[in-house]
Amino acid sequence: MASSAPRRRDPERQMPLKDHLREFRNRILLVAIGIAVGAVAGWFLYEPVFEALQRPILEAADGTDALVTVNFAGLATALDMKIKVSLFLGVILSAPWWLYQLWAFVAPGLRVKEKRYTLGFLGTAIPLFVAGLALAWIVYPKAVTILTGFTPEGGSNFLDAQLLMTFTMRLFLAFGVAFVFPVVMVFMSWAGIVQSRTWLKGWRWAVMIIAIAAAILTPTPDVVTMMWMAVPMVGLYFAAIGISMLGQRRRERRRAAELAAETHT
């Protein structure tokens, strides 16, 4: 005999817009605090990190007759550079924290079972973010070597410290975020926002967009460097589609079993 008791609705799934905005504000504040704490640690790591970023430039200078060096043009440029590097390191070091805050913001709209994917989300997104940074570190010296190689013989190339840091931050963050996007794809599919079939139907557009993005984000003119970014992203895109399809089929079988159980009740 079917139960006459009404089903209890999950109150988290009916969060008003005002509460959503308040939650978003709180999450942004927590992200800012996490980055600030990471920036404090980055302040003490500035020297070894800057030396590591400068090393490819010095090696490029040794391999050519041209003068290649980092130039601090203004009186406060060195201090400004240290602050920017510290903030950049703060974003990198606090990546597990702000990735969790991203997940925590959307989690209230999920069912209890779907919230169990939190560890899987973080356990996948963080290694992929680190893998993107590692790949950017491989591309960075090649970019410096190729770009400084255009300096005429006997010429000088004074690299502005501010522009160099902006270039480096964009390169590393672009690779890191690009490698996390497949995890976002899986989450959107499992949450029912985008069907996995939709991702699959748009694979041609996705490959084209990835190729264009790789050409823009990689600062070198050679195709090999662009492929360093494009090929892994295409592979991760199709891997995300496969995982999304498996999760969707599992949910469909579970729902069918629940409907069958309700029918027989």
pTM of the model: 0.67
The answer to whether residue 210 scores a pLDDT higher than 60 is: yes
The answer to whether residue 174 scores a pLDDT higher than 90 is: no
Q: Give which of 46, 41, 132 is closest to 84, Cα–Cα.
A: 46
Q: How confident is the model at residue 40 (pLDDT cuts 50, 70, 90)?
A: very high
Q: Give which of 113, 91, 90, 96 is closest to 191, Cα–Cα.
A: 113
Task: Please report the pLDDT score of residue 198 as a whole number.
Answer: 81
Region 79-89 average pLDDT: 87
Residue 233 to residue 21: CA distance in whole angstroms: 33
Region 48-71 average pLDDT: 74
The answer to whether residue 223 scores a pLDDT higher than 50 is: yes
Region 102-125 average pLDDT: 67
Average of per-residue pLDDT values in the chain: 76
User: Three-state SS for 63?
Assistant: coil
- Where exactly are the structural domains of the chain? 17-264
How is residue 259 written in tokens?
A: 């409907």
The answer to whether residue 101 scores a pLDDT higher than 70 is: yes
The answer to whether 60 touches 149, Cβ cutoff 8 Å, is yes
* Alpha carbon separation from 105 to 22, 129, 177, 179, 180 (Å, rounded): 11, 19, 18, 21, 17
Least confident of 48-52, 152-156, 211-215: 152-156
Burial class, 250, CB count within 10 angstroms (exposed 0-12 / middle 13-18 / buried 19+): exposed
Give strand ranges (E) for the chain: 67-71, 156-160
The answer to whether 233 touches 210, Cβ cutoff 8 Å, is yes
Cβ neighbours of residue 151 under 8 Å, at least 6 residues apart?
64, 66, 68, 157
